[in-house]
A and B are shown apart, each in its own frame.
Chain A
Amino acid sequence: MSLLHLAILSPFLLAVFIPLLYKHFRKIHTGWFVLVLPVILFIYLLQFIKGNVEGNPTTKTLSWIPSLGIDFTVYVDGLGLLFALLITGIGALVVLYSIYYLSKDKESLHTFYVYLLMFMGAMLGVVLSDNLIVLYTFWELTSLSSFLLIGYWYHREKSRYGAQKSMLITVFGGLSMLAGFILLGMMADTFSIRELIAQADTIPSHPLFIPALLLVLLGAFTKSAQFPFHIWLPDAMEAPTPVSAYLHSATMVKAGIYLVARLSPVFAGSAEWLWLVAGFGIITLFWGSFSAVKQTDLKSILAFSTISQLGMIMSMLGIGAAALHYDYLDDNIYLIATTAAIFHLINHATFKGSLFMVVGIVDHETGTRDIRKLGGLMTLMPITFTLAIIGSFSMAGLPPFNGFLSKEMFFTAMLHASTLDIFNFETWGILFPILAWIASIFTFIYSMILVFKTFTGKYKPEELDKKPHEAPIGMLISPIVLASLVIIIAFFPNLIAQSLIEPAMVSIHPTLLEMGSFNTKIYFWHGWNLELFMTIGVVGIGSALFLTLTKWSGLYDLFPKRLTLNNLYDHGLISMERSATKLNSLYMTGFIRNYLVFIFGFMIFALGGSLLTKNAFIVDFTAAAPVGLYEVVLALVLVAGVLTILFSKSRLSAIIALGAVGYTIALFFVLFRAPDLALTQLLVETVSVALFLLCFYHLPEYKKQQKRLSFRLTNLLISLGVGTVVTLIALSANSTRLFDSISSYYVDASYTEAGGKNMVNVILVDFRGFDTLFEIVVLGIGALGIYSMIKLRLTRGRQG
């Protein structure tokens, strides 16, 4: 157990003590105790930057299940560290924000912080694990803690709905991902990501490669809310705003991005990867930004904006994979896509985190998040307004904010994608820059809606529950820090370019490193190039569309409501439940006869079927005993008795016939030289008949039941089937004697070993005495059961 392991597990350890702290220090907001941990972790993790810049990632191993090749190996390379810093850094800011956001008196803070810490630890585990199975374990822990956090206000129905939806979708993806991991483990015979990457040149030729690729991508797409699995994210907005800011914009939804980036060295060489990652990314980008414009709830806008930005990062990761196919590093134009992806990942975490916090402040101070009720808050909340401007303009990709830089790089990457000449990109590749550009226009529009519909226009105090005023300073600290980062990164991008982005690049493209360093440099000013004109176009068209929003927003009503993905999900879920109920009630009828029909039917088909298909039916009776006259007569009597039972109209004759059958069997035992059996059979049959008579006396008339012919016909068919199958099996079994009986031993040893001449009795009490012991137990239990059935009367409150 190294310090790194402790760092990952420390949130879980602290979570154990949170309820205690909450209970014993009611005066202090529990969040203050929590805040210490992410700050310490952040500072602790900062020291790993040096090692990564020098190209020495840190590895620490803790043996967990060595026999299965599952070790808890922590691997801090550029990519993992970048994510870990985001998780702890934004985690600290979110905890600080939540201290002012959540009331000490009204909320159950201990559950909130336990879930949040659980999430933080799980997320650190995801990004720092080297073992796929350990990664999966933490991955599901993030799903679980996210579920708990979305359903934090569990008395609200929408919270529960959102929590269930996100759980179902992310766990579905998580399980597919596990299957993909197992396939990867089978291909490479290891679960270690580093060893997988070391075998990256042999894995793609394996037949399981494509299934593994698809399954892993399914996991990444569901977690990162890619189209069409994005539908859980808007409903997850029912969570408290700090949770939305932390989980559903900055960290958890980027777990899928992390996975794609992490496994790029293994998969990225294939055409399927390039097309799927880039294609789904760009569709998500477009659909998310397009859908964001029609939302009226501030958090919904941000949710769809998150979806679209995640799609943007995903598509850039996809295009970045093209770099592997051009083996000159000096001006490898596709590398810029990977750089832009990582850069935008950081930028998005900063501005989206601050925007969520801003929306939380607006919600907190006005009591609503509905843009139709809001307006004119600019003068009332000047600091919040400034923060919103910085966040939104950065999101829209405007200078002088960091979003501008990554947007320009994104355009560059997409323009290069249209010039790709591999994997048929030359045919459809042109769609990438076009979709990207249109999506950017919509991004601009909703960013403007976010700011101007909230803070400018007419102030409508009558619509608001509270009298709005500026938020307390404690609530503002976190968004101020994030907004400052937005600006700092914009002006000094190379501060993080060398220390964070380049080591992460090394993790994504380890093979390209051998040809020299990446020399990642981000410039604020590119000169007058096509990308800049595209941005100018975005601003121009976007402004025009924003100002005329009311005129064309009717466009959204053209889409039929019934055909939305949410509807598909809801109806899919309902019809699944319905058809399961239907199927269940179809065969679980409660009639014992139906179940017996299933059982007998299965017996006929399984046994009879295998008899037929395996050609197992043989008749060979050369060794059979000769047929005697007595036996034939007895057989006729037996059949007559059976027929009497079947067709008898009175219960008495049925009992007598059953007795006759029993006595005939006893006579068979006599003929077949089984004296003990005959004796027992006679006794048992007598007692049984007596019992039958006793009971029948208390039962109703044994009248012939008037039933439909089909009922009797199916019964007849099934019983004939059972009888035939049994007969056939008996005949075949008798015809094939594979080895002699072991009974010669009993014949030899009955007297010499056991001192008895009656072999059957010696077997019963000596050789196989255990059978007899438990047969006695059976009789004892039967007797006790009968006694208690007759004696005990507990129903209807009376006792007999």
Chain B
Amino acid sequence: MEIVMSFIIGILFTAATYLILSKSLIRIIIGTGLLSHGAHLLLLTMGGLKRGAAPLLGENASAYTDPLPQALILTAIVISFGVTAFFLVLAYRSYQELGTDNMDKLRGTDRNE
């Protein structure tokens, strides 16, 4: 199963990188969303898959899945959500103020100051 997951993660990373390299601000934000999905799945896969019951002691199982990666992913999900929300509003505001979402026109060089 880990092999399949590794390839899926690779596909997620490829798509995310492709979107991040594009010129539209929205595509970049979607790309970061996919990138965090990839990272979360990678964390889970690295912890090992399907090695027992869900990490709830009430299950009374002989083996549980590793709870530590799950805790880490939970933290990461929340943080990436916060950042994505911020980015979205930033994109919205910058489009409102600057009138473009084309990254080629959003250049902060010395010449433009």
A, B from the same assembly: yes
What residues make up the interface of A, taking CB atoms closer than 8 Å to B?
A: 588-593, 596-597, 600, 619, 621, 624-628, 631-632, 635, 638-639, 642-643, 645-646, 651, 654, 658, 661-662, 665, 668-669, 672-677, 680-681, 684, 687-688, 691-692, 694-696, 698-700, 702, 705, 707, 715-716, 718-720, 722-724, 726-727, 730-731, 733-734, 741-743, 746-747, 750-751, 757-760, 763-764, 768, 771-772, 775, 778-779, 781-783, 785-786, 789-790, 795
Q: When chains A and B are docked, how far (Å) is the Cα of A638 from the Cα of B40? A: 14
For the complex with contacts A590-B112, A734-B45, 9 further pairs of A-B residues with Cβ separation under 8 Å are A596-B21, A625-B51, A646-B18, A651-B26, A687-B81, A695-B91, A715-B17, A779-B82, A789-B90
Give B91-113 interface residues, CB cut-off 8 Å to A.
91-93, 95-97, 101, 103-104, 106-109, 111-112
Q: When chains A and B are docked, how far (Å) is the Cα of A707 from the Cα of B104? A: 12
Chain B residues with Cβ below 8 Å from A789 are 89-90, 93
B17 close to A600 (CB less than 8 A)? yes
Chain A residues with Cβ below 8 Å from B97 are 795
Among A698, A718, A751, which residue has its beta carbon within 8 angstroms of that of B95? A698
Minimum CB distance partner of B80 in chain A: A684
CB distance from A776 to the nearest CB of B (A): 8
B50 close to A786 (CB less than 8 A)? no
Minimum CB distance partner of A768 in chain B: B71
A625 close to B50 (CB less than 8 A)? yes
What residues make up the interface of B, taking CB atoms closer than 8 Å to A?
A: 1-26, 30, 33-34, 37-38, 40-42, 44-58, 64-68, 70-71, 73-75, 77-79, 81-86, 88-93, 95-97, 101, 103-104, 106-109, 111-112
A688 and B81 contact, Cβ closer than 8 Å, known pairs A677-B70, A677-B74, A747-B64: yes
CB distance from B59 to the nearest CB of A (A): 9
Chain B residues with Cβ below 8 Å from A751 are 57
B3 close to A624 (CB less than 8 A)? yes
A758 close to B4 (CB less than 8 A)? no
A684 and B18 contact, Cβ closer than 8 Å, known pairs A661-B37, A730-B45, A763-B67: no
Chain B residues with Cβ below 8 Å from A702 are 24, 26
- Of the listed residues A592, A651, A673, A747, the one surrounded by the most CB atoms of chain B closer than 10 A to its CB is A673
A628 and B1 contact, Cβ closer than 8 Å, known pairs A705-B22, A707-B23: yes
Among A624, A643, A669, A743, which residue has its beta carbon within 8 angstroms of that of B67? A743
Minimum CB distance partner of B78 in chain A: A775
CB distance from A748 to the nearest CB of B (A): 10
A764 and B71 contact, Cβ closer than 8 Å, known pairs A631-B4, A646-B15, A759-B57: yes
CB distance from B7 to the nearest CB of A (A): 6
CB distance from A363 to the nearest CB of B (A): 45
A684 close to B81 (CB less than 8 A)? yes
A673 close to B65 (CB less than 8 A)? yes
Among A588, A677, A778, A786, which residue has its beta carbon within 8 angstroms of that of B73? A677
A676 close to B74 (CB less than 8 A)? yes
A719 and B18 contact, Cβ closer than 8 Å, known pairs A658-B33, A677-B73, A764-B75: yes
A757 close to B57 (CB less than 8 A)? yes
CB distance from A66 to the nearest CB of B (A): 48
CB distance from A145 to the nearest CB of B (A): 35
Chain B residues with Cβ below 8 Å from A741 are 47-48, 66, 68
Chain A residues with Cβ below 8 Å from B40 are 665
6 A–B contacts, CB within 8 A, in A order: A626-B1, A642-B15, A676-B70, A747-B57, A747-B64, A775-B79
Chain A residues with Cβ below 8 Å from B42 are 726, 730
Minimum CB distance partner of B94 in chain A: A789
Among B41, B66, B106, B107, which residue has its beta carbon within 8 angstroms of that of A743? B66
B71 close to A760 (CB less than 8 A)? yes
Chain B residues with Cβ below 8 Å from A730 are 2, 5-6, 9-10, 42, 45-46
Q: When chains A and B are docked, how far (Å) is the Cα of A654 from the Cα of B31? A: 11
Chain A residues with Cβ below 8 Å from B46 are 730, 733-734
Chain B residues with Cβ below 8 Å from A781 are 82
Chain B residues with Cβ below 8 Å from A747 are 55, 57, 64, 67
CB distance from A663 to the nearest CB of B (A): 11
B82 close to A699 (CB less than 8 A)? no
Minimum CB distance partner of A704 in chain B: B24
B15 close to A771 (CB less than 8 A)? no
Q: When chains A and B are docked, how far (Å) is the Cα of A619 from the Cα of B91? A: 42
Chain A residues with Cβ below 8 Å from B81 are 684, 687-688, 779
B33 close to A775 (CB less than 8 A)? no
A625 close to B7 (CB less than 8 A)? no
CB distance from A677 to the nearest CB of B (A): 6
Chain A residues with Cβ below 8 Å from B70 are 674, 676-677, 760
A782 close to B95 (CB less than 8 A)? no
A775 close to B75 (CB less than 8 A)? yes
Chain A residues with Cβ below 8 Å from B20 are 596
Among A624, A642, A684, which residue has its beta carbon within 8 angstroms of that of B12? A642
Q: When chains A and B are docked, how far (Å) is the Cα of A628 from the Cα of B57? A: 25
9 nearest interchain CB pairs? A723-B14, A727-B10, A590-B109, A719-B17, A782-B82, A759-B67, A719-B18, A757-B57, A759-B55
A742 close to B95 (CB less than 8 A)? no
Q: When chains A and B are docked, how far (Å) is the Cα of A715 from the Cα of B103? A: 15
B101 close to A699 (CB less than 8 A)? yes
A759 close to B64 (CB less than 8 A)? yes
CB distance from A608 to the nearest CB of B (A): 13
A590 and B108 contact, Cβ closer than 8 Å, known pairs A672-B44, A733-B46, A760-B70: yes
Among A673, A684, A691, A727, which residue has its beta carbon within 8 angstroms of that of B78? A684
Minimum CB distance partner of A703 in chain B: B24
Chain B residues with Cβ below 8 Å from A638 are 8, 11-12
B8 close to A639 (CB less than 8 A)? yes
Minimum CB distance partner of B106 in chain A: A592
CB distance from B30 to the nearest CB of A (A): 6
Q: When chains A and B are docked, how far (Å) is the Cα of A271 from the Cα of B10? A: 64
A591 close to B12 (CB less than 8 A)? no
Q: When chains A and B are docked, how far (Å) is the Cα of A625 from the Cα of B11? A: 21
Among B1, B9, B34, which residue has its beta carbon within 8 angstroms of that of A631? B1
Q: When chains A and B are docked, how far (Å) is the Cα of A764 from the Cα of B67? A: 10
CB distance from B68 to the nearest CB of A (A): 5
Chain B residues with Cβ below 8 Å from A626 are 1, 50
Minimum CB distance partner of B96 in chain A: A698
Minimum CB distance partner of A702 in chain B: B26
Q: When chains A and B are docked, how far (Å) is the Cα of A786 from the Cα of B92? A: 11
Chain B residues with Cβ below 8 Å from A632 are 4
